[in-house]
Amino acid sequence: MNSKTFAIITDVHSNSAALEKGLSIINERAGVDKTIFLGDYFSLGPDPNTILKILQSDKDSIIIKGNHERYLVEKIWNDENPELEGMSQDDPILKEIIENEKWTADQIGETGTSFCESMITSHKEVFGSTWVEFSHAWYERDEIPPTIDEALEWRDNISKSYPEIEEFVFVHGHLHIPREESKENVRILCQGATGLPFDEDPRSSIAFLTIGDVFKWDVVRFDYDSQKTIDLLESKQPPFYKNLQNTVRYAAIRNDI
């Protein structure tokens, strides 16, 4: 048996400067077998149409749907009481984010919304004795990643049909902060975010996962032209843009500024 390497991009959030730099790093890296995108591409950022063009032109990568793609497909702004990650209906931030979803949908049009609808919710592969699965948050839901106990139950269910599997790896996005957790023969991995980190490190994040003869989880943090993204937010002024500018600057949710 040999090894297989995946490049992983997640939570781009319409940050084309970060995505383009991340893709250039992936393209220069030897030995990458497949690139996987883990969702949340268009909303909460300044440049959804550029992101759409990049993704639509990529015929080789695996493109997974995030919760923000679901919001666009469902037209969440038409709901009387839209639900978004447990936020209170009285929270003024909720209203601004919903307005941003509507703005994003208007930018990408029906072509973009149909593209979102065509995306898959998860992708799994078996390589040797390793089962690896990718999703935005969890294969059963898109807003809450699994606990380690849920992942162990997931492993147990798979093992009933595939007793030959020895190692289980689940890779998700959504959190915007790094996660590396393991118990027994189960690993849960998240690199953070490519376009909108929340871990107080404003550098972008991509990851490389190798399974097979060796296991390797390599998170790559890199600088990009974040000022370009901040300036584009200022130029286009989508709903919630000042908050988003601060998130790009500080890699934290700074709605207090």
Q: Per the structure block, which two tokens stand in for 226? A: 């974040």
What's the 3-state SS for the chain? Answer: CCEEEEEEECCCCCCHHHHHHHHHHHHHCCCCCEEEECCCCCCCCCCHHHHHHHHHHCCCCEEECCHHHHHHHHCHHHCCCCCCCCCCCCCHHHHHHHHHHHHHHHHHHHHHHHHHHHCECEEEEEECCEEEEEECCECCECCCCCCHHHHHHHHHHHHHHCCCCCEEEEEECCCCCCEEEEECCEEEEECCCCCCCCCCCCCEEEEEEEEECCCEEEEEEECCCHHHHHHHHHHHCCCCHHHHHHHHHHCCCCCCC
Return per-residue pLDDT of the chain as tens, 257 residues.
699 999 999 999 999 999 999 999 999 999 999 999 999 999 999 999 999 999 999 999 999 999 999 999 999 999 999 988 888 988 889 999 999 999 999 999 999 999 999 999 999 999 999 999 999 999 989 999 999 999 999 999 999 999 999 999 999 999 999 999 999 999 999 999 999 999 999 999 999 999 999 999 999 999 999 999 999 999 999 999 999 999 999 999 866 66
The token pair at 94 is 């909720």
Which residue ranges form the domains of the chain, and what is each CATH number? Answer: 3-121+188-250 (3.60.21.10)
pLDDT of 106: 99
Centre a 10 Å sphere on the Cβ of residue 72 and count the other Cβ atoms it contains: 25
Nearest to 134 by CA among 216, 196, 62, 33: 62
Q: Are 214 and 232 in contact (CB under 8 A)?
A: no
* pLDDT on residue 140: 86
Q: Which residues of 76-92 are buried (b: 16+ CB within 10 A; e: fewer)?
A: bbeeeebebeeeeeeee
What region, left, alpha or beta, does residue 40 occupy, with left being phi > 0 and alpha being psi -120 to 50 degrees?
Answer: left
pTM of the model: 0.96
